[in-house]
Structure 1
Amino acid sequence: MFWAPEVLPTVVPVRPASLVGSHSHVSLDLSDLNKGQLRQGPDGWHVVLNLRGVEHRVWFKEAPVVAVTYAVELPFDRDFEFRADAGRRLWRALNGKPPGAPLHALSESRRRRLALALRALDARMDGSTYREIAEVLFGAERISERDWRTHDLRNRTIRLVQSGFALMRGGYRALLRPPSAKK
């Protein structure tokens, strides 16, 4: 899937470098890309590079050229830190170094909750009751028939379904943009 830099701040916008120093520089090798990795869109060219086991997303305003040195474009906007970090990780990977952890990554517990929310949403849209969903997600043995109405897993299941619906209705876009650091 391809995303524009204004939607996903970890997409690295690049342009031909105007200044190339005498020191060695690294170029983007675009010669072996297939249609799944390079795509032209109405806003430019989108590239997905898999370097050192990490997916890097790069955006070109103009058609990419193989023998050109590129520079990362970093506008001073609200996503500057995330774009700079994505550019740093790409640069490290291009230089054969481990890219390091991304500045913004979902925690393991957040990923688990999102997976549960999507499973709960799928089950609910397939006609399952909240109880049936809870039994599949958490185990039938954890919920007695008598306690279901007041059981905490009932409320948790309802919240998971609601979260799933919120994601389906566009809330997934919030996952693409790191949380704001406004104070």
Structure 2
Amino acid sequence: MTTAPPVSHEAASQPLFDFAAGQVCRAADGWHAVLCIGSVEHRIWSKQPLTPGAHYAAELPLDSSFEARAHAATRLWRAMNGRAQGPAFQRLSKQRRERLCAALRALAAYFAGATYRSIAEALFGEKRIPDRVWKTHDLRSRTIRLVQSGFAFVRGGYRELLRAKRKDK
């Protein structure tokens, strides 16, 4: 990858643009940039090199991710024009975030060679794990499901976090 020179924009039209040196890079699939607007970093991709004073359009495929992409494009546009970005597209509940963290921790321990029992002891506490009935204990099943969820997440399931849950599916 090579680094493109910093890009500057007219203060009147885009007062919050700030491409720091080294934050515009060329890759095999196009140009990647980190756009700093206020204290927020936005990651963008372009087919052509980014040039000062140019006008850009967002290309949004009409696929199953259209709604999420349109929301992200709107938030970027609002930030570029000095407006509040608005709420995130889909907020995860505290319980969902905790489960995702537990699944990733369980998978990391599994990759490190830990047994399901030692993973369960680390996640749920050693006192909750009985000595004799481990093979039929519900925490064993829960630990195995967490590891399986971690695998699914790593294999591309993380993309589902961006998609809104539809009631008709």
Tell me if TM exceeds 0.5: yes
Task: Tell me, yes or no, if structure 1 residue 111 matches structure 2 residue 97.
Answer: yes
TM-score w.r.t. structure 2 length?
0.76
Aligned to 1:33: 20
Task: Tell me, yes or no, if structure 1 residue 55 matches structure 2 residue 41.
Answer: yes
**1:158 CA drift (Å):** 0.8
Paired with 2:95 and 2:40, the residues of 1 have a C-alpha distance of 21
Aligned-pair identity (%): 50
Paired with 1:119 and 1:99, the residues of 2 have a C-alpha distance of 32
Tell me how many residue pairs correspond in the alignment.
Answer: 157
Which runs of structure 1 show a deviation greater than 4 angstroms over 4 or more consecutive aligned residues?
A: 179-183
Unaligned runs of 5+ in 2: 1-11
Paired with 2:135 and 2:86, the residues of 1 have a C-alpha distance of 47
Unaligned runs of 5+ in 1: 1-23
Q: Judge conservation of contact 1:26–1:69 (CA < 8 Å) in 2.
A: no
* Higher RCO (CA < 8 A, seq sep 6+): 1
Matched residue of 1:59: which SS? strand
Which one-letter code corresponds to 2:81 in the other structure? N
Task: Tell me, yes or no, if structure 1 residue 171 matches structure 2 residue 159.
Answer: no
Matched residue of 2:57: which SS? strand
TM-score w.r.t. structure 1 length?
0.71
RMSD: 2.6
